[in-house]
Amino acid sequence: MDLHKRCEMAIEIIKATEDGDLLSPQELFLTQEALNNNLNDLGMQEFRELHKAIKDDTFIPFNKRWFHGIEHMTADTAEAGGGLWINWKGHNVEHYDQPWAWSKEGKEEALEVAERCKHLESIGIPTNTTTVIWDWEKYEKRSRLSIAIIAMEAHVACLRQAWDIIHAKLVEENGSSHNKGRKIDTQQAKESIMPADYEYCPHCHGSFSFAKLGDNFICKWCKKDVRTSN
């Protein structure tokens, strides 16, 4: 193939790929080497196939292809510092240097990252560089059940805080002293926006809506005054 033909094909490739930004690093290098007449027969065949894909509109941009053939994993050229951003379903999860990213070791590393991403998804954790790389040991052995338990413990802690706030209101408004010895932030109680008719009974520990009967607040389940512990 003469120089004029190679230049014509290379220009068409570059124009159709946003000045080469949609080409993989290998394809960009292939195009440059074709211009410099440094390709062997196999290289020229690959160059022709690339040009044909451009002309037939079957070319898939580099950042839309599965990286190393790994489903849901793509790569994009990093704007600063070179290298590649490795993405999982569109989210950055790792950064690889080039040309190492295309090596056998790079592929093995990418497969490991993919397995981490699948595990994180299975337990409801978002995939990003923090969860996949920096904090991986925190999630490596967790299951969906363990995550649910952690969430439940956090919820229970919130309920306990709410219980203190509600009792603080009752102590302040009604003068009850059955909760002496507990540290209660009465200022926080004043600022609380929790409904005053919902809490947990100190006797049966059930959630309830209490009714005010005279000077008493009676649990609808155990029929005891919620302001007393006896």
Instruction: Kindly report the pTM of this predicted structure.
Output: 0.56
Mean pLDDT, to the nearest integer, of 132-137? 93
Distances (CA, A) of 210 to 10, 192, 197: 80, 18, 6
Short-list 92, 94, 76, 93, CA closest to 21 = 76
- Give residue 46's pLDDT: 94
pLDDT in tens, 5-45: 999 999 999 999 988 888 988 899 999 999 888 999 999 99
CA pair distance 86, 109, nearest whole angstrom: 11
Q: CA-based Rg of the chain, rounded to a whole angstrom?
A: 32
Residues contacting residue 61 through CB under 8 Å, at least 6 positions apart: 17, 22
DSSP 3-state of 45? helix
CA pair distance 188, 196, nearest whole angstrom: 14
Residue type, 123: I
pLDDT-derived band at 187 (thresholds 50, 70, 90) equals very low
Cβ neighbours around 142 below 10 Å, total: 16
Distances (CA, A) of 44 to 9, 23, 197: 12, 17, 80
